Chain A
Amino acid sequence: MSMTTRSYLAGVVMTPDNIRTKKLPLGINLLVAVVAFGLAAAIVYGLGIGNWVLVVALGWILYLVGLFVAASRVEGRRAARNRAWQSLIYSACVLAILPLASVVWTLVSKGWERLDANFFNTSMNNIGARDPNGGAYHAIIGTLEQVGIATLIAVPLGVLGAIYLVEYGRGKFANTVRFFVDVMTGIPSIVAGLFILSFWVLIVSPWFNNGEPRFSGFAAALALSVLMLPTIVRSTEEMLRLVPGPLREGAYALGVPQWKTILKIVVPTALPGIVTGVMLAVARAAGETAPVLLVAGGADAINFNPFGGNQSSLALFVYQQAGDASKYAPARAWTAALTLVAVVLILTIVAKMLARRNSLTR
C-alpha cells in the first residue's frame, strides 16, 4: 500500500502492474521449503541428534522463518507478518488432525481383530486370563438399560425445566435457574458418580437391601441422568425460543389455555430440535465411564435386572479390559471401544442431520 502511495506522489502513472503490491513468487516459496528441510536434515543427521520427526519439526520451523525473511524483503514487513500468521494457523490445523487420524486408524485396525459374532453374544462370565474369547454382551445390555432409564428420567424433567425457563420463568429465580443449568453442564462426571454413590448407593439402597449398600444399574442411570439433564434443558430451551410468537398468540386468541398451548402447539413445533438435543445427550451419556464405575460396580455376567446387583456398561468394559493383565484383553478393549465410538458417532451424526433438516433455524 505504502508503495502505491509513494509512486502516486512521484507522479508515476498507475497501471495494473504497479498498483498491486509485489507478491512472493511461488518458486521462491518452494525454494525456501527445499532449503529449510535440506538444512534441517543436514543438521539433525549430521549431528546425530534425532530422527525424521525432528527433521520435520526443525524443517518446518526453518521454513517459517525463511519464508518470513524472504517475504519481508519482497513484500514488506506487514505482508510478511500476515503470511507468517497464516502459515501458523494452517499448521495448527495440520497438527490437530494428526492425533485424531491416529485415534481413528488405531480404533479400526485394532478393533477389527475381535469384531465377530462371539464378541456380541457372549459375556465375560467364566472367562479366564488364558481364554481368547469372551465378549461384551453383558456390557451392551448394561449400557442400553442404564442409558434408557436415564433418558426416561432426564427427558421429562429437562423438557419441563426448559418449558419453565421459556414460557413461565420471569425475574430473578428464572435467571438463577438458567445460570445454574449452564454451570451444571460443567460438573465433572466423576462428581455426579460420587453424588449418586453417597446419596443412592450408601444411603437409600440399604433400605431395600437389609441395610447393605448395593450397586445397581439404576444407580448408574441416576448418575447419567444428572449429567444429561442440563444438556437437555439447554438444547430444549433454545428450540422452544425459536417457536414463533404468533403461533402462541394464535392459540391464546382462540381461548386455548397456556398449558394446552404449550403441549399442543409449542412443544410439537419444536419437537425435531428437542429430539436432536436428547440424542446428543444420550450419545454423551453412553460414553461416560466414571459414574458407572462408581455406582454400578461392574460385572462379568449378564444381568438384565437394573435394580438388583452389579451391572457393567460398554465404556466400563473398555476401562476394565484396559486394566486386565490377560494378553487377550487389549483386543477386547479395542473392539468394545470401536463399538462404543460407532454407537456414539451414529447417534451424533443422525442428531446433527435431523438438526439440519429442522425448519426452525436461527
Chain B
Amino acid sequence: MGDNPSRSTDATAGGSGVTGRHARSAGTGVSPSSYEEPPIGGGGAPLQRKARFSMETGFRGLSVAAGAMVLVIIVAIAVFLISKAIPALQANTANFFTDTKWFPNDAQPNFGIAAIAFGTVLSSVIALLVAVPIALGIALFLSHYAPKRLANPLGFVIDLLAAVPSVVFGLWGRDVFSQPVKDFSVWLNHYFGWIPIFGGDGPFGRSILLGSLVLAIMVLPIVTSLSREVFQQTPGMNEEAALALGATKWEMIRTAVLPYGKPGVIAAVMLGLGRALGETIALALTLGTVFTISFNLIQTGGNSIAANIANTFGEANNIGRGALIASGLVLFAITLVVNMAARAIIYRRREFRDSAA
C-alpha cells in the first residue's frame, strides 16, 4: 500500500523512514520485530496499529471513491444519454444534424437539430454581446470607481441576483418585459426595417430579441462577479506605476488592469456562455417556439435546444424522448467543450500567477 507518503509529508515530526517501516509491518500483520529498529518514533502496540491502519485505508478509500464519483457521473451522463439516444436516431428518417423539422412523435419520425441548435447559439451570442460590455462596466465600477461603502453592498446585490431562479426571470420576461420589447421591436421595424435582422411584418414580441435580453440579464451577475474578482487582483504596483507615469484613471485601467485581467475576463465570458447555452426555462417561456433558421431578431420565433426539451417533453412518446435526449447530448457536448476551454484558461492563468507571486 502506498499509504504513507502524504502522511509522512504532512506529519513532518518523526523520520519518514520510521513511519514507513511501521506501516509495512502493520500491513503484513506480522508480530513486530521492533528489536531490528531503534525505538525512537515507535510507540503503540502493533495490534493497535493494525486496527488504525485499516480504518485509515477505509476512510481514504471512501474519500477517493467520492472524488472519483465526479468523473463517474460525467462519464455516466455521456453513456446513458448515448444509450437512450441511439434507438431514436436509428428510427429517424431525416438527417439529425442538418434537418430543421422536429416531428419525432410521428409514425415516420423525422427530426433534426439544425434549427434549435442555431437558435441556441444565436440567442446566447446576442445575450453575451449585450451583457458583456455592461458586466465589465459594472465590474470596473465595483473594483475601481465606487467608494468601498457602495461597492460592497452593490457586489452583494449582484451576487444575490445570481441566485434568483431562472423561472422567475422567465415569468418576468413573458409577463412584463415582453410589452416594452414588443413596442421597441415595432419601432425598430418601422425605422430600421431595411436591415434584414429587423425586417419582417410581424407579429412581434416573443422573439429572439426578448429571449436574448432576458438571457443577458441572467448572465450579467456571473460575468460581473468573476471579472470583478479578477480586476481586484490586479497588482497594486502596476496600477501605481501607471498613475505615477501620469496616466489618467482610464489609461491606468487600459494599460494595467485590462491586460492583467484579460484571461480571467475571457474565462468569465465563456462561463457565461456555458450558462446561456444551457438555460432552459427562461427561454421556454419567452421564445416563440418556431423550427426555422432565421436571423430575424424581432419577429415572433426562435427556439433553443433546452427550451425545446422543456416545451415538448410533455407530449413525447418513446422515440420522442430519445430524440430529446439526443438533442440534450449535443447540448452536453457543446457546454462541456465551452466549460473545459474556460477552465483550462483559468488554470493556466492561475499557474502563471502563482509562479509570478
Contact = CB atoms under 8 A, between A and B. Distances in A.
Contacts of B12: 249
B11 A252 contact: yes
B281 A289 contact: yes
B73 A92 contact: no
Given A186-B338, A198-B83, A344-B163, 20 more contacts: A78-B248, A86-B249, A106-B175, A110-B175, A164-B63, A180-B71, A185-B339, A186-B335, A186-B342, A191-B278, A194-B309, A249-B10, A289-B280, A289-B310, A290-B310, A293-B313, A294-B309, A319-B284, A322-B170, A345-B163
B167 A106 contact: no
Interface string A181-210: 111111111111011011100110000000
Contacts of A91: 137
B171 A352 contact: no
A322 B163 contact: no
B38 to A, nearest CB: 18
Nearest to A95: B134
B35 interface: no
A189 B80 CA distance: 16
B168 A340 contact: yes
B353 to A, nearest CB: 14
Contacts of B278: 186-191
The 6 closest A-B pairs by CB, nearest first: A188-B278, A92-B137, A287-B165, A252-B11, A160-B66, A186-B339
Interface in B146-170: 154, 156-157, 159-161, 163-170
**Chain A contact surface mostly:** helix
B203 to A, nearest CB: 19
Interface string B263-299: 0000000010011011111001100000000000000
Interface string B244-259: 0010111101000000
Contacts of A191: 77, 81, 278, 328, 331-332, 335
Given A253-B11, A259-B55, A344-B163, A183 B343 contact: yes
Contact of B145 (A90, A102, A157, A174): A90
B141 interface: yes
B24 interface: no
Interface string A79-97: 1011001101111110110
Interface string A252-296: 110101110011000000000000000010011011111001100
Interface stretch (A8-16, A26-34, A115-123, A329-337): A329-337
Interface string A333-350: 110010011001100110
B280 A189 contact: yes
**Chain B contact surface mostly:** helix
A190 B164 contact: no
Nearest to A102: B176
Given A93-B137, A157-B66, A187 B332 contact: yes
Contacts of B1: none
Interface of A: 1, 49-50, 53-54, 78-79, 81-82, 85-86, 88-93, 95-96, 99-100, 102-103, 106-107, 110, 156-158, 160-161, 163-165, 167-170, 174, 176-177, 179-192, 194-195, 197-199, 202-203, 226, 229-230, 233, 245, 248-249, 252-253, 255, 257-259, 262-263, 280, 283-284, 286-290, 293-294, 315, 318-319, 322-323, 330, 333-334, 337, 340-341, 344-345, 348-349, 352
Contact of B339 (A82, A99, A183): A183
Given A106-B172, A249-B10, A289-B165, A90 B336 contact: no
Count chain A CB atoms within 10 A of each CB in B73, B180, B340 and give the residue with the most.
B73
Given A226-B73, A315-B165, A258 B339 contact: no
A53 to B, nearest CB: 8
Given A106-B172, A289-B167, A322-B174, A176 B71 contact: yes
A107 B137 contact: no
Contacts of B133: 92
A252 B41 CA distance: 12
A54 B321 CA distance: 46
B69 A161 contact: yes
B250 A349 contact: no
B339 A290 contact: no
Contact of B141 (A93, A284, A289, A334): A93
Count chain A CB atoms within 10 A of each CB in B59, B165, B249 and give the residue with the most.
B165
A170 B275 CA distance: 31
Contacts of B237: none
Nearest to A280: B163
Contacts of B6: 167-168, 170, 258
B242 interface: no
Nearest to A347: B163
A194 B156 CA distance: 33
A248 B11 CA distance: 8
B21 interface: no
B30 interface: no
Contacts of B169: 103
B356 interface: no
Contacts of B163: 280, 283-284, 287, 344-345, 348
Contacts of B325: 194, 197-198
A167 B138 CA distance: 38
A183 B248 contact: no
B187 interface: yes
Nearest to B5: A170
Given A191-B335, A195-B80, A184 B74 contact: yes
Contacts of A233: 70
A190 B309 contact: yes
Contact of A344 (B64, B165, B309, B328): B165
Contacts of A257: 52, 55-56
Nearest to A322: B171
Contacts of A330: 175
Interface string B190-230: 01000000000000000000000000010010000000000
Given A168-B64, A194-B309, A252-B11, A88 B166 contact: no
B241 interface: no
Nearest to B11: A252
A136 B55 CA distance: 47
12 contacts: A85-B253, A103-B164, A161-B66, A163-B63, A164-B63, A186-B335, A186-B339, A187-B74, A198-B325, A229-B69, A341-B165, A348-B163
